[in-house]
């Protein structure tokens, strides 16, 4: 099993988490997660079921989890995504959080992006508004995935940020909780 870009500690931790997820399963079958291949334990895919009694219910949302460190300063962008660059950048997981990205990006479920125009009798399609905790590229932005330590903006407590006691399961459950949030039970913009 190749350890593309990962330290032995990170690989052991990821293998342990994967074993726990496959043996115990997710609570109420809310998600499935694991490495995309046996040769790459540092890139996972998660299938997240839309929470019941929410606008996301019935949906299955795909997220990519990456457990590699940020590129070193000065390395050109195209080279960072090459296999060679990954082998030079060991993961410091679980000391630092992984990255989570919805593919495709997650949008607000109650937006009306397709509305008939009375003047033209055509359908006007505009891009739907994004989910407020997901960047335009699909990257999830929640406290539990922020680097450990104090927040210079004073927005988050250190206890809300990543710590090595967190796990893939805890983060995905936090994302499911985010999807079930009250703000998505009303139409967008209300």
- Winning range, highest mean pLDDT, from 14-23, 79-88, 125-134: 14-23
Q: State yes or no: pLDDT of 9 exceeds 70.
A: yes
What distance in Å separates the CA atoms of residue 162 and residue 180, rounded to the nearest whole number? 21
Q: Does domain 8-182 have CATH number 3.10.110.10?
A: yes
Structural contact between residues 138 and 105, judged by C-beta atoms closer than 8 angstroms: yes
Give the C-alpha separation, 130 to 2, whole Å: 36
For residues 140 and 137, give the distance between their C-alpha atoms in angstroms, rounded to a whole number.
Answer: 9
- Sequence ranges of the domains in the chain: 8-182
Catalytic residues: 141
Q: What is the pLDDT of residues 20-56, one digit of tens each?
A: 999 998 888 899 999 998 888 899 999 999 888 888 8
- What is the pTM assigned to this prediction? 0.74
């Amino acid at each position: 099993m190749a350890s593309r870009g990962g330290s032995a500690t990170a690989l052991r931790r990821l293998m342990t988490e994967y074993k726990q997820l496959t043996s115990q399963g997710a609570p109420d079958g809310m998600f499935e997660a694991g490495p995309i291949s046996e040769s790459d334990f540092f890139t996972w895919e998660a299938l997240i079921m839309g929470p019941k009694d929410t606008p996301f219910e019935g949906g299955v949302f795909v997220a990519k989890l990456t457990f590699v460190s940020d590129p070193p300063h000065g390395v050109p962008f195209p080279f960072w995504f090459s296999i060679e660059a990954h082998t030079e950048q060991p993961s410091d997981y679980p000391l630092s959080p992984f990255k989570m990205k919805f593919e495709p990006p997650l949008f607000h479920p109650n937006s009306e992006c397709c509305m008939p125009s009375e003047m033209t009798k055509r359908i006007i399609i505009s891009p739907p508004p994004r989910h407020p905790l997901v960047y335009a590229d699909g990257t999830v932005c929640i406290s539990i995935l922020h680097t450990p330590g104090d927040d210079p903006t004073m927005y988050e407590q250190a206890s809300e940020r990543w710590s090595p006691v967190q796990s893939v399961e805890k983060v995905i459950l936090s994302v499911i909780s985010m999807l079930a949030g009250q703000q998505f039970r009303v139409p967008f913009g209300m």
